[in-house]
Every structure is written in structure tokens, then in C-alpha cells.
């Protein structure tokens, strides 16, 4: 009998999850565990690589147990992961030489400033599609090689392995037999030439990274080796979390886009087989590469504070007890009564990239209530995402026809309606919003024959609700103008 089940490993920033899907794309069982975050200095964030592996392995076994499945029942395993987080381990023993440096970590800011002063930033962007920023893996890897005794010489001797989280999981799942990654994760390292589809020797020289420690880059949907556990099931799909969500939302046509409303918001638009260089401060990235097909590219914009704004209302201002209370509170007033909230608590991401911006609430009067502030907080998420869409439309020249949404805050109907109003296009929420894990499962299923092609996957995507724009374009334009005015007052505050 054909194998009908796929195991998706979803390794995130604060927790590891595992979901078993059947051949209809339905979740059969899941498990999740959080792990410790380390903050050794201000702006530094680290994970214990062994915690990442232990929690991911445990939830995989737990989900399989809940589904009453064994490894022999799996058609394949898919991996999706927090991106840019950087790990280095010994090739012989598998022992990490340092804690993982997390994507949010800012310790390499001065190193980036130095490279900027050397005039390398533009060349790096042209090769990688990324900004020269501590966000990405290359500068973190350089730091580890410089700060761990003997690391650089050991790396030059071929004794060390570098990897993002996907590579670390593949290594452990295969008992050290496979050291590999996929193009989507490789394209987030500052070391990978997205045009040539290979590690770039000049970039490796600039960042001081020996080629010997790099993983092999394999197609996102293909053979990554057999698991030593789970009955030897094949790892058959790998993609960074936002790329997997784009695949899970079946954005297979050029110009289709998705927005994930999590702690932050990540908006990606699939732009076809040629990379588009952004003129509006977005990132150009590899979306995925499936077996026998050319690479697909995407434009990406990041909002630092999405659902985190709602968490701030709950934990900082204590206006609400649970995140779900934000919607009825905001809906209790017809509008914000002129209040604008700019949630630049950690600076502004795309398209502004202003690390000195800080949060601001403007337009307050004696008549302002908690409900007005709650509504302004929700609307700020939509305003930031609308700015990204404007930048994407300008870069790609592709008029957006609809926006597919997922993530926790996508379940907020008031937010989704306001998003549709600002964009002037339908906002579509699918029935299955677990699109990150689902995308990893789809990539694995495509490689193992569970799905014949992308068309078969597209047929599984089903709509939960469509939010049609109800605001005039003139009103939406006016509101965006007021938002930009508020943003201008938040910029540069921490200089």
C-alpha cells in the first residue's frame, strides 16, 4: 500500500514542533515543546544546539506516537526552521563548539560597520540579495571563528561543520552521515550567490570562512538522507520557515504573495525564475528549488512588531488579559479617533530600516480610551504590511491580485478586514493556517511521490474566509498618508 503520511519538523525560535500530515494535507497529530533562551549580554541571544535537537527529536516521537504511526508508515520527513541562526560543531564528534547565535542577535553590528566602511556592502547585496546586517549568518559565523579558541585553524583543517538549524537537524537525524542544506536557507547566510546558485568564493574570503566547513546545497524537495530513527524514513523536503509558508500557501504562480502574522510579519512575493533587485529596501531571496526545476525567487519584507504589539498591550500596558481580547476591545469603537501607534520598539524594518526609530503614540486627547489605543495597535500591523506591499509592487511591477495570510494574528477578523481595506485587494485566510509545517510536508511529499506535481498540491488549498475591501481608495490613501506622518515622528528618536 502507498505510504500516506508525512512528518513535518518545524523548528522555531522559541519552540520545536512536529506535525503529522496525511496525503490530503490534513493534520493528524502534533506536539510542541519550548526551550531555553540565553541572553549573555545586551543584544545577544543564544540557543543551546543540544536543546534544539533534543526538543525536536522528542516532539517528533510524541507526534508519531499520538498518530499511532511508525517510521515505516512515513512517506517522508520535511524540515522547516528558524532562519539565519548559526551553529558550528565538530565533524568527528558532532559536539557544538559554541551556543547557536540566534538570528535576532546584534553582536556583530560593529563588524558590519567596518565592512560598510570598506565599501563591500553594495557588492554583497548584488551577490546575495541581502543587506549587510547582523541579522544574517555570515557575520555570526565570522564571530564564532574569531572568538572560540582554535576554531579558525580547526575549520581550515576541515574539522568543523557550519550550518543553519536545518543542517544541524539533518546531521543529527542521519547520525552525522549528511551535512547539507537547501537553497532557501543558504540564501540567508550572506555567503551564497543567489544568481549562480553556489557558495561564493569572494564572499567566503571577505567573511573569513573556510569552504571546508560549508554544507552541500541540495534541492529543497529531494533526498537529504535517511533518518537513523523513524524506521529509516527519508528526509525529503527542507526550507526556511517563511519560504515553507510561501510553498504551503501554494504561491506557485509568479506574483502571488503571502503574509505571515506572527511575532513579526513576513511578507513574501514569488517573483519567478529571475531575481529582482529591490530599489525599495526589500530583500531578494531564493524561495525554493524543486528537483528538475529552476530556482524560484521571492521579494521579502519584514515587520519587526506584528503580533508582538498585541503582546505589549497584554503584558506591558495590561489592557487585556489574553491576545484574543484585543479584537472585541478594538471593535467597541468605530475608529481610533485620530490616534496612531507606531510600534518601533526595536526600530523599524523594511522599507525604512531605521534602528534608531522608537515606538510612538500620537494624536492622544482627553477622550482617548484603551479601546482607541487597542484599535490603533491592531491597525499598525496592517499599516506596516501595506507599506511592504507598496514597495513590492514598485519593485516587481506585478499588481497584487490577492494576499494570502497565515499566522496567529490572521485569525483576528478586524485586522484582516482593515488589511484588505488598505490594500484594495481581497485578503484570503485558508482553512489550514499551519502553512509553515505544511509547506515542509508538501516539499517532502513532492519528492516522494505523495503528490504528483504542484497542481495536485494546489487543489488541497481551501479558503476559510475572504475579506473583501470595503473602503474607498481615496480614504485608504488618506489613512496611509497619516500613517507616514506618524512614522516620520518616530524615526531617529534614539540617535
Distances (CA, A) of 382 to 155, 302, 335, 476: 45, 13, 14, 12
Task: Tell me the HSE value of 154 on the side-chain side, using a 13 A CA sphere.
Answer: 18
Q: Are 125 and 200 in contact (CB under 8 A)?
A: no
Question: Which helix (DSSP H) or strand (DSSP E) does residue 137 occupy?
Answer: helix 137-147
Q: Are 78 and 94 in contact (CB under 8 A)?
A: no
- 435 appears as a binding residue in the annotation: no
- The CA angle 11-69-16, to the nearest 5 degrees, is 10
Read off the C-alpha cell for 117: 566602511
Counting Cβ atoms within 10 Å, is residue 41 exposed (0-12), middle (13-18) or buried (19+)?
A: exposed
- 390 appears as a binding residue in the annotation: no
- 99 appears as a binding residue in the annotation: no
Q: How far apart are CA 310 and CA 146, in angstroms?
A: 39
- 84 appears as a binding residue in the annotation: yes
Angle at which helices 109-117 and 121-128 pack, to 10 degrees?
A: 100
- 83 appears as a binding residue in the annotation: yes
Q: Are 388 and 351 in contact (CB under 8 A)?
A: yes
Angle at which helices 370-396 and 473-490 pack, to 10 degrees?
A: 100
What are the start-end ranges of the E strands in 164-282?
A: 180-181, 192-193, 198-199, 216-217, 235-240, 257-261, 265-272
Read off the C-alpha cell for 89: 560543531
- 55 appears as a binding residue in the annotation: no
Name 174's Cβ contacts closer than 8 Å, sequence gap at least 6: 224, 225, 226, 227, 228, 235
Read off the C-alpha cell for 174: 542521519
- 460 appears as a binding residue in the annotation: no
Q: How far apart are CA 154 and CA 148, in angstroms?
A: 10
Q: Are 305 and 299 in contact (CB under 8 A)?
A: no
Residues written for the chain: 495
Name 195's Cβ contacts closer than 8 Å, sequence gap at least 6: 127, 275
Report the first-to-last Cα separation within the chain, whole angstroms: 65
- 454 appears as a binding residue in the annotation: no
- 109 appears as a binding residue in the annotation: no
**Closest of 163, 164, 162, 103 to residue 134, by C-alpha:** 103
- 15 appears as a binding residue in the annotation: yes
Read off the C-alpha cell for 479: 489613512
Q: Residues within the annotated binding site for ATP?
A: 13-15, 263, 307, 311, 408
Q: Residues within the annotated binding site?
A: 13-15, 17, 83-84, 135, 241-242, 263, 307, 311, 408, 412
Q: Residues within the annotated binding site for glycerol?
A: 83-84, 135, 241-242
Q: Residues within the annotated binding site for sn-glycerol 3-phosphate?
A: 13, 83-84, 135, 241
Q: Residues within the annotated binding site for ADP?
A: 13, 17, 263, 307, 408, 412
Amino acid at each position: 500500500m502507498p505510504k500516506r503520511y508525512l512528518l513535518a519538523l518545524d523548528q522555531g525560535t522559541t519552540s520545536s514542533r512536529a506535525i503529522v500530515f496525511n496525503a490530503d494535507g490534513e493534520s493528524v497529530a502534533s506536539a510542541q515543546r519550548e526551550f531555553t533562551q540565553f541572553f549573555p549580554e545586551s543584544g545577544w541571544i543564544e540557543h543551546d544546539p543540544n536543546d534544539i535537537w533534543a526538543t525536536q527529536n522528542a516532539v517528533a516521537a510524541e507526534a508519531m506516537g499520538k498518530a499511532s504511526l511508525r517510521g515505516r508508515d512515513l512517506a517522508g520527513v520535511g524540515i522547516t526552521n528558524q532562519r539565519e541562526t548559526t551553529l558550528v560543531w565538530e565533524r568527528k564528534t558532532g559536539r557544538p563548539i559554541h551556543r547557536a547565535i540566534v538570528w535576532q542577535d546584534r553582536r556583530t553590528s560593529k563588524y558590519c560597520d567596518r565592512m560598510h566602511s570598506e565599501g563591500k556592502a553594495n557588492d554583497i547585496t548584488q551577490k546575495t540579495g541581502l543587506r549587510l546586517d547582523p541579522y544574517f549568518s555570515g557575520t555570526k559565523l565570522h564571530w564564532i571563528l574569531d572568538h572560540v579558541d582554535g576554531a579558525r585553524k580547526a575549520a581550515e583543517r576541515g574539522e568543523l561543520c557550519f550550518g543553519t538549524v536545518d543542517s544541524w537537524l539533518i546531521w543529527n537525524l542521519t547520525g552525522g552521515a549528511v551535512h547539507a542544506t537547501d537553497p532557501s536557507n543558504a540564501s540567508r547566510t550572506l555567503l551564497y550567490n543567489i544568481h549562480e546558485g553556489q557558495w561564493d568564493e569572494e564572499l567566503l574570503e571577505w567573511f573569513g570562512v573556510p569552504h571546508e566547513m560549508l554544507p552541500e546545497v541540495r534541492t529543497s524537495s529531494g533526498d537529504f538522507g535517511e533518518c537513523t530513527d523513524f524506521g529509516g524514513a527519508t528526509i525529503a523536503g527542507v526550507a526556511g520557515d517563511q519560504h515553507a509558508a510561501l510553498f504551503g500557501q501554494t504561491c506557485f504562480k509568479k506574483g502571488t504573495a503571502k503574509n505571515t502574522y506572527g511575532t513579526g510579519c513576513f511578507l513574501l512575493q514569488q517573483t519567478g525564475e529571475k531575481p529582482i533587485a529591490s530599489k525599495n529596501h526589500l530583500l531578494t531571496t531564493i524561495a525554493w528549488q524543486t528537483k528538475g526545476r529552476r530556482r524560484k525567487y521571492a521579494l521579502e519584507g519584514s515587520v519587526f512588531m506584528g503580533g508582538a504589539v498585541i503582546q505589549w498591550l497584554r503584558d506591558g500596558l495590561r489592557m487585556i488579559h489574553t491576545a484574543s481580547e484585543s479584537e472585541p476591545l478594538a471593535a467597541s469603537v468605530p475608529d481610533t479617533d485620530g490616534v496612531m501607534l507606531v510600534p518601533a520598539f526595536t526600530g523599524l524594518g523594511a522599507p525604512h530600516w531605521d534602528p534608531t526609530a522608537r515606538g510612538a503614540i500620537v494624536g492622544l486627547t482627553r477622550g482617548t480610551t484603551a479601546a482607541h489605543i487597542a484599535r490603533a495597535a491592531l491597525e499598525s500591523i496592517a499599516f506596516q504590511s501595506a507599506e511592504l506591499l507598496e514597495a513590492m509592487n514598485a519593485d516587481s511591477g506585478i499588481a497584487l491580485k490577492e494576499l494570502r495570510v497565515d499566522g496567529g494574528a490572521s485569525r483576528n477578523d478586524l485586522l484582516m478586514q482593515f488589511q484588505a481595506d488598505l490594500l484594495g485587494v481581497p485578503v484570503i485566510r485558508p482553512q489550514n493556517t499551519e502553512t509553515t509545517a505544511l509547506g515542509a510536508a508538501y516539499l517532502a511529499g513532492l519528492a516522494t511521490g505523495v503528490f504528483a506535481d504542484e497542481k495536485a498540491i494546489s487543489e488541497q488549498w481551501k479558503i476559510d474566509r475572504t475579506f473583501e475591501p470595503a473602503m474607498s481608495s481615496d480614504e485608504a490613501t488618506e489613512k496611509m498618508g497619516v500613517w507616514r506622518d506618524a512614522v516620520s515622528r518616530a524615526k531617529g528618536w534614539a540617535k
